[in-house]
Structure 1
Amino acid sequence: MRQTTVVDIDAFTAVHAAEWDRLRELSARRRLDGAESDELVRLYQSVATHLSTVRSAAPDPALVTRLSDVLNRARTRIAGAHEPAWREVTRFATVSLPAAFYRIRWWSHAVTAACLLVALVAGVHVATSPEALAALMTPAEQEEYVNEAFASYYDPGIGFAGVVWTNNARVAALSVAGGITGFFTLFVLYQNAASVGAIGGMMAAHDELDLFLTLITPHGLLELTCIFVAGAAGLRLFWTIIDPGHRKRSVALAAEGRALITTVIGLAVALGVSGLVEGFVTGSELYWWLKIVIGALVLAAFWAYVYVLGRRAVRAGATGDLAEHESGATVVTAG
């Protein structure tokens, strides 16, 4: 016949209350030395046994609640409480994001050089070839665009900045998303570079190259850089499929894909800044040289952010990927 053990709650509490109080005290401390940490774990295990005993032999609600509260506090202290959301945001902005940008910096510079070359070739071709110039627009359309439409496009205001941001974000997203194919990203980059170059060539053919550069430079420095970085991120993803390195292809692709999400978020913010510059600086009444200085400072701030914080983050082991506890553990494989 099964026997039920009866526990005297008052006596049980009198014997173990000191341990419970000590566990609560250690759980509340901000700092623990090695001996105190070991004591905290030992007491946690003991009190967990006490709670089990009370629940099975003398389920006193008040005591169960008391011990559960002590154990919850101790468990949080041992396992570590979740950091406040603002710390996660700070870590993302100062570690994960600059690391993601820094890791693709050479890809970004290579894409920038290639796109500038395409734009230059397209611009020179349109400016020097009557056939290429005529293929863009009719003479009447060219006159209207050069003399009115191009300058009037830059209408200062938050609404215009929002439209610009949406359009640029779409181009960047296409460049990134197309990375899985590689070819689509190259197509988007080529089309964008050739289009900008052709417009510049048409403006030059009508002796308005200075107007073109004055209006496109303030915001274009950062805006086009973001497009180039987006393309670099997409191409880096494609290259991971070809050459995953020492990792399994699926593992490498997953890691680069997660880092790509980090890059996209950062580019959305950067494009928002360029949109504000385009909406409030490019079309403003400021001196043209001041507009260009503002654009140059914004671009310099972007690359300083990438190289200063990014280099430090990468040297510390950051990649722009999620932390292991967020992305899941990776199975180690040989070969």
Structure 2
Amino acid sequence: MKQHLFEQRHNADWLSLDKRLQALEQGKAEQQDCERFAADYRRLCQHLALAEERGYSSHLIDQLQRLAMRGHQQFYRHRSHLGAQIIRFVIAGFPRLVRREWRAVLVASLLFFGSLIGMGLLTWLFPEMIYSLMPTEQVRQMESMYDPDARRIGRFAERDSGDDWMMFGFYIMNNIGIAFQTFASGLLLGLGSLFFLFYNGLVIGAVAGHLTRIGYSETFWSFVIGHGAFELTAIAFAGAAGLKLGWALLAPGRLSRGEALRQAAAQAIQLVAGVILFLLIAAFIEAYWSSMTFASAHLKYGVGAGLWLLVLAYFLFAGRDRHAPD
């Protein structure tokens, strides 16, 4: 291709990138400028490589090199801000997203916590109902985990303090597996997410009701109340993300199902990122605080209540300011 044709074809792209770089350099860039910058910068690098390979004039190559140098500086400058972006997401972005997606969050929370509470009451009133969800051996194992005479409380009551790091990893993998299953199954028109929200609520509620009825309430509730604020909330939000995918497939509106799913996935994945953060916090609390016996049950109740209030206040108030209306 001759140079003048090459310039005619791509000059508009170069001018657009130049304007976008000016906005970035002056700190006046909008969100769309940042989102398109990386793709435009890669395209410019391809044009520069073609110009050098084809032996175009030094004037054109110098022009593209200067533009590429400015792009390189901005590209790595904004990459270095990744940590700041993560902090902004944690402080404000995640709670804003949850409030913006309140419909999916409400449906998922009602289904999950509703089935949990309902099954807990039923199992407490009718003890035999636990066996409709769990085999006898698994029920006995659960009872042994929360036996008030156990030295340490949790999934492995006999473990030593040195095993806490191993348990931290176990809790992460187990909880993230449940959350991902609840989220990804939303692709089955949302039915998978509905099922796992309902089923997990039933199982957790049945365990809670059974252990409370047989007199293990202090060891059970003092163990779960702390990390439950983050873990249970995360499961509900994972379900909300899955429901968002399912709804995009069921009711895409004027968009094609593929485009509706793509747009829904962009928000759902952000929800899942917050879910993973909450599950990491939950796993840390579960491994290093919930299973310890040096603290009294009353202290754990107090800390747990504080954590639930903290989570509630975080999603109600964090990220609210006049520049970012909800």
Indicate whether the TM-score tops 0.5: yes
Deviates further, 187-196 or 152-161: 152-161
Aligned residue among 212, 222, 246 for 1:238 = 246
Deviation per residue, 1:122-167 (Å, 9 max, x gap): 1222222243245542696676455267934265612111101110
Let me know the Cα RMSD of the aligned residues.
3.8
SS of corresponding position for 1:151: coil
Q: In the TM superposition, what is the alpha-carbon distance from 1:87 to its structure 2 partner?
A: 1.7
Change (3 A) 1:99 1:231: same
Indicate how the Cα distance of structure 1 residues 94 and 305 shifts in structure 2: closer, same or farther if over 3 A, else same. Answer: farther
When residues 312 and 76 of structure 1 are mapped into structure 2, their CA distance, relative to the original with a 3 A threshold, is farther
Aligned equivalent of 2:79, options 75, 85, 104: 85
Structure 2 unmatched ranges of 5 or more? 1-21, 28-47
Secondary structure (helix, strand or coil) at the match of 2:74 reads coil
From 170, 190, 193, the equivalent of 1:163 is 170
- Unaligned runs of at least 5 residues, structure 1: 1-26, 33-47, 318-335
- Structure with the greater alpha carbon radius of gyration: 1
2:237, 2:272 within 8 Å by CA — same for their partners in 1?
A: no
8 Å CA contact retained: 1:218, 1:293: no
Query: Do the aligned partners of 1:118 and 1:190 also contact (CA within 8 Å) in 2?
Result: yes
* Inter-partner Cα distance in structure 1 for 2:130 and 2:211: 10
Q: Please point out which of 110, 125, 129 is paired with 1:128.
A: 125
TM-score (norm 2): 0.66
CA separation in 2, counterparts of 1:152 and 1:205? 18
- Which position in structure 2 is the counterpart of 1:212? 220
After superposition, the Cα gap between the structure-2 partners of 1:210 and 1:270, relative to the gap in structure 1 and judged at 3 Å, is same
Distance 1:31 1:103 in 2: 31
Picking from 98, 110, 114, the partner of 1:113 is 110
Alignment of 1:37-48 (within 5 A): none
Match of 1:270 in 2: 278
CA distance in 1, matches of 2:99, 2:255: 21
Give how far 1:278 is off.
0.4
Distance 1:226 1:166 in 2: 14
The correspondence for 1:103, drawn from 85, 100, 103, is 100
Indicate the SS of the match to 2:153. Answer: helix
Q: Which residue number corresponds to residue 297 of structure 2?
A: 288
Conserved? CA contact 2:191–2:246, under 8 Å: no
Match of 2:235 in 1: 227
How far is 1:201 from its partner?
A: 1.5
The Cα of 1:218 is off from its aligned counterpart by 0.6
**How many residues get paired?**
263
The one-letter code sitting in structure 2 at the alignment partner of 1:72 is Q
Report the 3-state secondary structure (helix = DSSP H, G, I; strand = E; otherwise coil) of the residue aligned with 2:226: helix
Identity %: 22
User: Matches of residues 44-83 of structure 1 in structure 2 within 5 Å?
Assistant: 72-74=65-67, 76-77=69-70, 81-82=74-75, 83=77
Q: Give the one of 185, 189, 193 matched to 1:178.
A: 185
Identify which range, 269-278 or 86-95, moves more after superposition. 86-95
Relative distance call for 1:77 and 1:229 in structure 2 (3 A) is: same
State the Cα distance separating 1:103 from its structure 2 match: 2.6
- Give the match for residue 44 of structure 1: none
TM-score with structure 1 setting the length: 0.65
Q: For the Cα contact (< 8 Å) 1:127–1:133, is it kept in 2?
A: no
Shift of 1:281: 1.0
In the alignment, the residues of structure 2 paired with residue 143 and residue 304 of structure 1 have an alpha-carbon distance, to the nearest angstrom, of: 34
State the secondary structure of the residue aligned to 1:73. helix
